[in-house]
Amino acid sequence: MTRRQLVLVVDDEANLRRMLCAVLAADGYRTAEAPSGTEAIAAAGRRRPDAVFLDLSMPGGPDGLETLERLSAEVPGVPVIMMSGRAGLADAVRATKLGAYHFLEKPLAPEAVLLTLRSALELARVRAEASALREALGPTATLVGSSPQMAELRSLIARVAPTEARVLVSGESGTGKELVAGAIHAASPRADGPFVRVNCAAIPRELVESEMFGHERGSFTGATERRLGRFEQADGGTLFLDEVGDLSSEAQAKLLRALEGGEVERVGGDRPIAVDVRVVSATNKDLERAARDGAFREDLLYRLNVFPIAIAPLRERPGDIPELVSHFATRVTQRIGRAAVTVTAEAMDLLVRHPWPGNVRELANIVERLIILSSRPSIGADEVAGALPAGNGREERLPNPAAMTLALSEELDRFERVLIARALSAAGGSVAEAARRLSTDRANLYRRMKRLGIEPAS
């Protein structure tokens, strides 16, 4: 059962409180009332609200702006919507600086109340998720490695992070492009703002505009609520466009317009909305070649590629592998509550010599698999050899046709399983990347996996 959200209504006029609570209750919200700033602060302390409607002018005790300041300290992250019949520009500016989400003019229109509340709650949810993600990543969200390539990568991040320059991060799948984008955001003046990720390859073509720019209620079939797009969700922070090279030509044109104008318009909306967003993009494609071939807009590439950062594949920096293995082993053992695990010199040598086509993501998956499967405090060479994908002298071979006793269809299925398993391992479990490596589309690969009983990685 979904929890009904609690809205605190603060106003010295009892009739207005009752009217507003009735509107909110009719739309499914729980409500609480407070006739003064002092009682509002006490009420929020007893039971944290999901949102607050706060009157600007309240006689006796703290006024609306003082109450807003106290609420921001007592219940941070709760959106506060100010209400006033005679607010001036100075009041609005100060309220915004103190963290107010929006100003509503009295008399209140029920539709405006509900639309503003829904938008405020959605933005609060997005910001809370981004904050939780940063906290969850914690010390694991670090760039591990002492190679010259990693030193140069850290240097580039340190130079560009304090600026507003758009960054295009390029590199093979599994090299850590999202980690680099997150590091740029964390070291930027926008670090306290949201970090919103969009997987451009995963958005259905017909939903790109709604996903990126939002939509109004009733703007198309299924649009039962107003929805903020990713640009609005990232307002004041960073928007990370992962796999940007997979956007359709139509989506590229719409993205270019948003970048050029600094504003978006929701589907079904009638006015542009200004957004303050820094865009960091990532791709595993050669976008310059794609632009020459007409598959990617050259003018969009210029907009995105103000500051390019290329991440070296893991095979070009094998010296980082021991540090990465130690880092991932510590992370896994802490998560599953197991004692520390070491890796023998022979086992580490095998890991260092492996080509790692799936890069750091593949290495992380292998280390986790080794720790889960091993019951010993030290992981040896035999265990590593068994965990590595077919290769390194252990190639899966097709049977001699003269000795075959299985039906042709069974042999083909067996070989297909091997090919798909290798591709998934090399892609670090990413079905989209495995499909690219197998020169097929993701939907076809999913169908084949389902038929062969291969479960995608969770």
CATH number at residue 168: 3.40.50.300
Q: Token pair of 285, please?
A: 């494609």
Q: Is the torsion defined by CA of 67, 228, 113, 121 positive or negative?
A: negative
Q: How far apart are CA 412 and CA 414, in angstroms?
A: 5
- CA 397 remoteness from chain centre: 41
Tell me if 425 is assigned to some domain. Answer: yes
Task: Give me the amino acid identity at 233.
Answer: Q
Over its C-alpha atoms, the chain yields an Rg (Å, rounded) of 27
pLDDT band at 122 (very low <50, low <70, confident <90, very high): confident
Contact call for residues 300 and 256 (beta carbons, < 8 A)? yes
Higher pLDDT among residues 51 and 227, named by residue? 51
What pLDDT shows up at residue 321? 94
Q: Are residues 326 and 308 in the same domain?
A: no
Q: Are residues 162 and 265 in the same domain?
A: yes
pLDDT band at 404 (very low <50, low <70, confident <90, very high): very low
Q: Are residues 273 and 356 in the same domain?
A: no
Among candidate residues 255, 280, 312, the one where a domain is terminated: 312
What pLDDT shows up at residue 133? 57
Task: Give me the amino acid identity at 351.
Answer: L
**In the chain, helix, strand, coil percent, each to 5?**
50, 15, 35
Q: Are residues 334 and 446 in the same domain?
A: no
Task: Give me the amino acid identity at 456.
Answer: P
Tell me if 396 is assigned to some domain. Answer: no
Q: Are residues 62 and 98 in the same domain?
A: yes
> Domain containing 105: what range?
6-120
User: How many structural domains are present in the chain?
Assistant: 4
Tell me if 217 is assigned to some domain. Answer: yes
Task: Give me the amino acid identity at 197.
Answer: R
CATH number at residue 324: 1.10.8.60
Among candidate residues 268, 292, 312, the one where a domain is terminated: 312
Residue 289: pLDDT above 90? yes
Tell me if 330 is assigned to some domain. Answer: yes
Tell me if 132 is assigned to some domain. Answer: no
Tell me if 247 is assigned to some domain. Answer: yes
pLDDT band at 364 (very low <50, low <70, confident <90, very high): very high
CATH number at residue 13: 3.40.50.2300
Q: Are residues 255 and 190 in the same domain?
A: yes
Q: What is the mean pLDDT of residues 174-195?
A: 90
What pLDDT shows up at residue 222? 67
Higher pLDDT among residues 263 and 324, named by residue? 324
Mean of the per-residue pLDDT values of the chain = 85
Contact call for residues 83 and 52 (beta carbons, < 8 A)? no
**Strand 227-228 relative to strand 214-215: parallel, antiparallel, unpaired?**
antiparallel
Tell me if 27 is assigned to some domain. Answer: yes
Q: Is 312 left (phi over 0), alpha (psi -120 to 50) or beta?
A: beta
Among candidate residues 312, 347, 363, the one where a domain is terminated: 312
**Strand 195-199 relative to strand 80-84: parallel, antiparallel, unpaired?**
unpaired
Residue 90: pLDDT above 80? no
Q: Are residues 165 and 32 in the same domain?
A: no
What pLDDT shows up at residue 320? 94
Q: Are residues 411 and 374 in the same domain?
A: no
Q: Quick one: which of 11, 2, 91, 18 has its CA closest to 53?
A: 11
Q: Are residues 62 and 193 in the same domain?
A: no
Q: Are residues 297 and 333 in the same domain?
A: no
Residue 144: pLDDT above 70? yes
- Cis amide linkage into residue 107, ω under 30° from 0: yes
Residue 399: pLDDT above 60? no
Q: In what order do the strands lie in the sheet with 51-55?
A: 30-34, 6-10, 51-55, 80-84, 102-105
What pLDDT shows up at residue 409? 65
Residue 174: pLDDT above 60? yes
Q: What is the mean pLDDT of residues 265-275?
A: 84
Task: Let me know the angle formed at the C-alpha of 307 by 302 and 311, rounded to the nearest 5 degrees.
Answer: 115
pLDDT band at 393 (very low <50, low <70, confident <90, very high): very low
Q: Are residues 371 and 420 in the same domain?
A: no
Lowest mean pLDDT among 43-57, 165-179, 260-274, 332-346: 260-274
Distances (CA, A) of 307 to 116, 252, 300, 312: 37, 19, 14, 16
Phi, psi of 59 (to 5 degrees): -70, 150
Q: What is the mean pLDDT of residues 154-175?
A: 94
Tell me if 160 is assigned to some domain. Answer: yes
Give the model confidence (pLDDT) of 405-450 as tens digits.
Answer: 445 666 677 677 778 877 777 777 788 888 888 878 888 888 888 8
Q: How far apart are CA 140 and CA 328, in angstroms?
A: 9
Q: Are residues 360 and 225 in the same domain?
A: no
Give the model confidence (pLDDT) of 226-238 as tens digits.
Answer: 778 889 888 889 9
Q: Quick one: which of 337, 334, 342, 339 has its CA closest to 370?
A: 342
Q: Is the torsion defined by CA of 452, 421, 456, 371 positive or negative?
A: positive
Q: What is the mean pLDDT of residues 14-22?
A: 94
Q: Quick one: which of 420, 415, 424 has its CA closest to 396?
A: 415
